[in-house]
Amino acid sequence: MSSAHDEHGGHGAHGDAPEGPVVLSVSDRHPRVRTIQVVRPGQADTTFLAAGAKGLGITIKHFARNLFLPLRKIAARSRAGAPDLVGQGNEIETVQYPEEKVTYPERFRGLHRLMLREDGAVRCVACMCCPTVCPAHCITIIPEESENPGIEKRPAVFEIDELRCVVCGLCVEACPCDAIRMDTGDHAKPVEDRANAIETKESMMARGIRSIAKQGGEGPNWRSHAHEPPPDGGNH
Amino acid sequence: MSLLYAILDFPATKWLFLVLALVMPLASLLTWAERRQSAMMQDRLGPNRANIGPVKLKGILHFVADALKMIFKEDFVPANVHKGLFALAPILALAPVLIAFAIIPFGPTIYPHALGSSLDTYQLATNPGAPEFADSIRMQMFSIDFGLIFYFAVLTLANYGGTIAGWASYNKWALLGGLRSSSQMMSYEVAMGLALMGAFLVTGTLEPGAIAAHGATEFMSPAHPLNWLWLWQPVGLVLFFTAAIAETKRAPFDIPEGEPEIIGYFVEYSGMRWGIFFLAEFIEIVFISAVVATVFFGGWQVPFLDGDGFRIGGYLDPVKHISVGGSFTPLPHAVVVTLQFLAFGAKVVLLAMFQLLVRWTLPRFRADQLMNLGWKLLLPLSLANIMATALVKLVYYITTGS
């Protein structure tokens, strides 16, 4: 058994007769640099009858299986290389999108949302970090004075043009207040009018929930709070 | 009433009902079936969404959408093309295929006055002038003795469509595609014709209707599956089917078209002009299936179904026309005709699906492999098939004297 044969995945590792390629000469510089005899299909094989019949067998098997067996569940289909298909239905991988959706990974960046305070007001303090960092200049914030004397500013207008957004997630990283997130697991919806692609403060707040993060962050002493449990026990 | 039957038996009427109302929709449906079947062979779903309101039908309506799209696309004619030939080529590709259907027997002869009862085959054989057989409708447009020769002669003309399209397009690649089309047809026409000559030797006729109904022996009716030529001409079947697929210019023999990369003869065509080439290709698939079904799989014969009913195990005495042995279930003529008509349709659809299967399984042959296969394998084999068939026939004649 030659070593080259094993490297190629080695079919039939047992047996007396060597099954590897016929070595014509070996280089004196390195044992793996060799001249081997290349086996080309003879005249009898050029009709490809046997190979063609084998291929037809494979396609017939797939066709019959996909025609007669029921569709697998979406979870089994969306997972590439499901371990064992036997007994689960056919082998079709297609996800019929609008009706069926695959679950995205946890860190998938999708449509924006604005998080809320305890009283349901917007968490955003109009610090202008996100429009500053945004490489696509798709965020428009017009600040106004907050009614709450403890809060300096709030956005009067908070608009994101989803057509310009490059979904980079820098706005989320820049936000000091956990006010903007992209974890909706949803896409920007297709629209027929460009104006409709602009997400407003209201539409993004409608998707928002209350955040457990401390408003304004932990400040310079964040290390001392890092291991404390969140005030509401982590429910949000 | 007999005028009505005479009109129904008129070839143009039959062409209208059988080709325009049956074959054309079937060919259009095949365009959908091909995409759906190929998708399922590749673990996909394929087009399944075209709908009229809630009517979805698994996407069958896609062929309607495709046809509408192609009709309303811009009919673009490039500068410098030969306008007349450019317009003529799609028609030249389509018309011969539609004409060739004239020889295909879509079903048995219908006797309208005898529809209600079981067909009296003895009466039919001895007294064909009886009132119940006064009117008859053949499900074949032209029953001519040189039927298969007619098919070769006419279908070869379809090749001019491709070649002229390539010539008229004023495009080097289209011209080369047209030439490839010609050379391929030349290589395969010969083997295709010779492959059917074995069938001619066995049945002694070139009339497809007679080939479908051949084989009435003392012990077996023509409806017996063992009487069909797939058993007596297996080599002829494989050779003819291979050459016929080459004739349809589809993979693995799609060198003339080479849609993705080598560019075929209809590269300058768009809209419905291109659609006609496409349709002609699919009608050719139906036609090839119909020929193979007729010659090698008994045409409209349902296994064990004779003209008067199911006869399993026994046989019909060819002289006295009585059932001998086995079990016999008489059926009304109308039921028999319907079953046989459906059987022909089923055979055609299955063979067409097999052609789709081949098209989506095998990769394209190289030009030299194609020529090797045509001239060095199919042609000698078909000649050998003829010789072997003739030899067996001769030995049989010498030993039995019939």
**What ipTM is given for this predicted complex?**
0.85
Which chain B residues contact residue A63 at CB under 8 A? Answer: 37, 40-41, 357
User: pLDDT tens, B28-62?
Assistant: 999 999 999 999 999 889 998 888 888 888 888 99
pLDDT of B382 strictly over 60: yes
Asked if B367 is an interface residue toward chain A (Cβ–Cβ < 8 A), one would say no
User: Residue B329 corresponds to which tokens in the numbers above?
Assistant: 């279930």
User: Could you tell me if B41 lies within 8 Å of chain A, comparing CB atoms?
Assistant: yes
| The pLDDT of residue B262 is above 50 | yes
Closest CA to B107 of B12, B207, B212, B15: B212
Closest alpha carbon within chain A to B369: A46
A63 touching B (Cβ < 8 Å) = yes
| A69 inside 8 A of chain B by CB | no
DSSP 3-state assignment of B91? helix
The CATH class, in words, for A113-217 is: alpha beta
**Would you call B40 and A62 a contact, using CB atoms and an 8 Å cutoff?**
yes
Contacts within 8 Å (CB) and 24+ apart, B80-89: B80/B170, B81/B168, B81/B169, B81/B170, B81/B268, B82/B167, B82/B168, B82/B170, B84/B168, B85/B164, B85/B167, B85/B168, B86/B165, B86/B168, B86/B169, B86/B268, B87/B273, B88/B164, B88/B168, B89/B161, B89/B162, B89/B164, B89/B165, B89/B168
Torsion A98-A103-A108-A109 (CA) sign: positive
At residue B113 the predicted structure's pLDDT band, cuts being 50, 70 and 90, is: confident
d(CA B281, CA B182): 15
How far away is chain B from the Cα of A45, in angstroms, using its nearest Cα?
11
Give the list of residues 6+ apart from residue A195 with CB closer than 8 angstroms, or none: none
Give B-chain residues touching A92 at CB under 8 angstroms: 40, 43-45
Size of interface A-B (CB pairs under 8 A): 42
- Closest residue in chain A to residue B42, using alpha carbons only: A62
Residue of A nearest to B377 (CA): A47
B170-205 pLDDT, tens digit each: 999 999 999 999 988 888 989 999 999 999 999 989
Q: If you ran DSSP here, which 8-state letter would residue A83 be given?
A: S
Measured between beta carbons, which residues in chain B are less than 8 angstroms from residue A43?
A: none
Contacts of A52 in chain B (CB under 8 A): 361-362
Q: How many CB atoms lie within 10 A of CB B383?
A: 15
Q: Do the Cβ atoms of B357 and A92 come within 8 Å? A: no
How is chain A split into domains, by residue range?
Answer: 1-10+18-39, 47-103, 113-217
What string of pLDDT tens digits covers the 236 residues of chain A? 334 443 343 344 444 455 677 888 888 888 888 898 877 766 556 667 788 889 999 999 999 989 998 887 777 776 555 555 556 678 888 888 888 887 788 888 989 999 998 888 999 999 999 999 999 999 999 999 988 888 889 999 999 999 999 999 999 999 988 899 998 888 888 899 999 999 999 999 999 988 877 766 666 666 666 555 555 544 44
Note whether A37 contacts B: Cβ–Cβ < 8 A.
no
| Residues of chain B neighbouring A66 (CB-CB closer than 8 A) | 40-41, 43
Ordered DSSP codes for B315-336: EE-TTT--EESSEEEE--HHHH
**Minimal CA separation from B359 to chain A, in Å:** 10
Residue B78: which pLDDT band, with cuts at 50, 70 and 90?
Answer: very high
The alpha-carbon radius of gyration of chain A (Å, integer) is 31
Q: Provide, as residue numbers in chain B, all residues whose Cβ is less than 8 Å from the Cβ of A60.
A: 357
The C-alpha of B176 sits at a distance from chain A's nearest C-alpha, in angstroms, of 25
Contact A62 B43 (CB under 8 A): yes
Give B380→chain A minimum CA distance, Å. Answer: 14
Average pLDDT, chain B: 88
Alpha-helix runs per DSSP H in chain A: 3-7, 49-68, 74-78, 129-133, 170-174, 201-206, 222-225
B211, B229 contact by CB (below 8 A)? yes
The verdict on a CB contact (< 8 Å) between B357 and A60 is yes
Distance CA B237, CA A195 (A): 65
The model's pTM is 0.81
Q: Which of B3-12, B36-45, B160-169, B216-225 has the lowest mean pLDDT?
A: B216-225
Nearest to A74 by CA among A95, A90, A91: A95
> Any CB–CB contact under 8 A between B368 and chain A?
no
Q: Is the pLDDT of residue B229 over 60?
A: yes
- The least confident of A215-224, B83-92, B295-304, B316-325 is A215-224
